[in-house]
Amino acid sequence: MNQLDFNDRHAVITGGATGLGYAIAERLIQSGGTVSLWDRDEAGARKAAQALGMKASAVACDVADFASVQQAVKSTLPSSPRIDALVNCAGITGPNTKLWDYPVDAWAQVFAVNVHGTFHCAREIATVMRTQGYGRIVNIASVAGKDGNPNASAYSASKAAVIGLTKSLGKELADVDVRVNCVTPAAVKTAIFDQMTPEHIQFMLSKIPMGRFGLPSEVAALVAWLCTEDCSFSTGATFDLSGGRATY
């Protein structure tokens, strides 16, 4: 494993109890930092923090609820007066169906978590980072936000919105040492697959030239670098992590 320098830094990771969020937390701790796991599953977050050890803490947070995000910031700062990195990892897929059959409530829920949740967290923590004069924000988007997966219109559109948000916020924070980037993975086999149909999972696999799904540890390696001080001249950028699917 390559050694990254996240020594004495603190990161907030949304959706940190499981999947990509947990893998990212693990890598940042291995790189010398501490983490706060924000998750609406408070019991799961506490269990994850216990597994990660003394450098991890759990904070109950529903990113779709702005008041919950504000409270999470207040709960995080006393134990760590700095927030050096924010990883917006919380997300849902929504159902796999044609747009004309897509449930209106499900569409709204996908945007509430994937887009509004990213906005809520970035809005509040960007203020903290501007005050302290330093920060790194990494948004987890998806190659679906670039390609548009059939039978996943809400997910694809929401992740395209995250890419656009990243580009705008990166420019807005370019006057201070706060960098904002996003990662667009192809399919990575985590518990989020439980929200998808077998047919959709096979479709995603068929699009990856490497012929396999990504590993959470592979996503964590890139995200961890984007959280470090070494990522100094990249902002508003989109980093593909797609096994060769995305070549543009």
Residues with a known catalytic role? 155
Q: What is 147-190 written as a DSSP string?
A: H--TT-HHHHHHHHHHHHHHHHHHHHTTTTTEEEEEEEE--B-S
DSSP state of 32: T
Q: Are 224 and 9 in contact (CB under 8 A)?
A: no
Q: How far is CA 74 from CA 12, 32, 71, 83, 199, in A?
A: 12, 24, 5, 12, 43
Identify the CA nearest to 82 among candidates 48, 46, 125: 125
Q: How many CA atoms lie within 13 A of 162 on its CB side?
A: 40
Strand 237-241 vs strand 85-88: parallel, antiparallel, or unpaired?
unpaired
Q: Do residues 226 and 136 lie in contact, with contact meaning Cβ atoms separated by under 8 Å? A: yes
- Dihedral of the CA atoms 114, 23, 228, 139 (nearest 10)? -10
Closest by Cα among 78, 33, 82, 31 to 59: 78
**Residue 240 pairs with which residues in a beta bridge?**
184
